[in-house]
Amino acid sequence: MIHDERNECREGDRVLIAESRPRSLRKRWCLREVIERAVADTAEKKS
């Protein structure tokens, strides 16, 4: 699990992460940048 401070990534995004100090019991990685956004499925939006 990674720490996404600004809550900017979604499932399917390609991201760059880096090891960091422990932020909680399970979070020891932090988000550096979003490399590529996932393509939103238009069928999901219509439902």
pLDDT one-digit tens code per residue, 6-44: 999 999 999 999 999 999 999 999 999 999 999 976 555
Residue 47 lies in a domain: no
**Neighbouring-strand partners of residue 9:** none
Q: What is the rounded end-to-end Cα distance, in angstroms, of the chain? A: 29
Q: Residue 46 domain-assigned?
A: no
Counting DSSP H helices and E strands in the chain, the numbers are 1, 3
Whole-angstrom Cα distance, residue 10 to residue 5? Answer: 13
- Looking up tokens 């991201």 gives 15
Q: What is the pLDDT of residue 45?
A: 59
Does a structural domain hold residue 35?
A: yes
How many CA atoms within 13 Å lie on the side-chain side of 37? 4
Residue 19 belongs to what domain range? 2-40
Would you say residue 47 has pLDDT above 60?
A: no
Report pLDDT for 22.
93
Number of domains comprising the chain:
1
For residue 1, the model assigns a pLDDT of 86
Whether residue 7 lies inside any domain: the answer is yes
> Which pTM was predicted?
0.67
Residue 46, pLDDT score: 60
